[in-house]
Chains A and B, each alone.
Chain A
Amino acid sequence: MNIEQQDFYTQAILSMAALVGLTSFLMLGQGRLLRLIFVFALQGLLLTLTTALAAYSLNSPHLYISAMMTLILKVIFIPWMLRRQVLLMNMHRDVEALKNNTAVMLGGAGLMVFSYYVLHPIVQTSSAIMLNALAVSLSVVLLGMLLMISHRQAVAHVVGFMAIENGLFFAAIVATKGMPMVVELGVAFDVLVAAVLFGIFFFHIRTSIDSLDVDRMNRLHEVDQ
């Protein structure tokens, strides 16, 4: 079926999926921490809009609560906390040198293709929107992991971690109209606690190695020195 023949909701969700995927790629190639955080907040905003859209179109009001939680956590609280840390550490001028930007971006593209490949068996059981939405969310998860591997700053790791959560939320909302409320509340609680703990850890890492560069955390080794 062509995309023009789909209803408005399907078209909107597919566009949202594309935009969410795009923000993941933008984050992957981003060297400046403040911009990285901004793009992350943007992704959170897209997620909020998707949730609200799903709540309106599918007539499931409990998704409005999910949308509110996403807005407060992912668009306001976590970016605010990260931004504060970056400014406090005076890292906003640092450009994080990605070792091989081109290879990382190509790797990201490969991961997206891989996500479609992995989820292809699902295509028999569902519509095009499901396959696309699930594949994009899986690729957002994998791109988040790649972001964590390719960046050295602890702040970037947290952004990657939270982007993974974004991908999972997107899958939950689009594929299944959201998880049961108790699970969503539980997950949101976990994310909130994780964010607070990350704040505490920034403080400790900074006092212990005087930087947030994770490459300098290298005391624990398997191999003798």
Chain B
Amino acid sequence: MQKLLLESLIKAPFTEPAPQADTVALAELATRVDRAARARLGRSLSIRQVDAGSCNGCELEIHALGNAFYDLERFGLRFVASPRHADVLLVTGPVTRNMREALQRTYDATPGPKWVVAAGACARDGGLFADSYACVGGVGAVIPVDIHIPGCPPTPTALLGGLLALLTKSA
């Protein structure tokens, strides 16, 4: 273990430069987020992730945000365990009917000001599952969405770009 720790002192870090804040997401956001609310948030965001019916592909890439390459905590972004501690809900999946109420209740439990980021093709409009009897079809059908991050699943870089768009606008 000592050897591993020592090595990590000498080796160059894995962490890579930040991506550009996603410009499309920025434009979407500009129309939705009011400045007063942003000023209150400062440059740090607490994110509560909610899987509302995803295939778990999106979750894998959201997890990857925490690895040494992306290291999202250096941007003041962190995942929290409860919606009551969150500024942002990061929601994935085509919102299944069985998860609809849980998503709504999670949203209600999140104190304002709050933002909703819908991640992935499913979260936009249900994606491949849009026509199913079991899906509502998109996060926006249940709670108001501020930003959508496209991709199936969105890459960690795309996710980071979208989340940074929230921070950039709030500066």
**Do the two shown chains form a genuine complex with each other?**
no
